[in-house]
Amino acid sequence: MRTTKSKQRSIRRQLDEKLDLSTPQQDLLEDLASKCTSDPNPDNTFQYAFALSKSRDKSELQYAISMLDSLVKNGYEHQVDCMFGSATAHYLLEEYDDARFLCEAILRTRPENEAAAQLHTASVSAKDDREEKMARDIAIGGSAAVAAVGLALLLGKKR
């Protein structure tokens, strides 16, 4: 299914709003960390890692990815949820290719997974927007350099 850029951006805005509203509170993270430490079973680890996957702290997001990926490697029963949490953390870290890859893996086995489809679309949109901005910045920088060279040549002729 192909979507227009405006539809992609709309989906991305909606997802970003949801993620802004789902940032975990510090007391929740502390409670889950304590529970995970006192009873380190896969379910407690998952709950803590999944909550961390919506944090805005870079190190917490990276830690969430490592825990969720470890759960998948160890055969945890809720693998799709782990992959989605990891994809969310990658998205928040602006690692859009990694988020997209994980969403595609989820959608291959669960094409009806609307959350993964939205995150996939948002990742594509975010990457496209970043690449377009980089191209504009390069074009502006190139134009400025040409103007500077032209001005230098013009001033050089006057001497």
Give 6-30 pLDDT, tens digit per residue: 898 899 999 999 999 999 999 999 9
Tell me how far apart the terminal alpha carbons of the chain are, to the nearest angstrom: 63
Which tokens is 70 given?
């470890």
For the beta carbon of residue 106, count every other beta carbon within 10 angstroms.
Answer: 22
Collapsing DSSP to helix, strand or coil, 116 comes out as helix
Q: CA nearest 8: which of 110, 100, 106, 137?
A: 100
Which of the 8 DSSP states describes residue 110? -
Which tokens is 73 given?
């490697």
The pLDDT of residue 148 is above 80: no
Average pLDDT over residues 49-78: 96
Which H/E stretch holds residue 154?
Answer: helix 114-158
The pLDDT score that the predictor gives to residue 146 is 56
- Quote the pTM value: 0.79
The pLDDT confidence band at residue 80, using thresholds 50, 70 and 90, is: very high
The pLDDT score that the predictor gives to residue 27 is 96
Residue 46 sits at the vertex; the CA angle it makes with 108 and 117, to the nearest 5 degrees, is: 30
Token look-up 């830690």 returns 63
Helices 26-38 and 42-52 sit at what angle, rounded to 10 degrees? 160
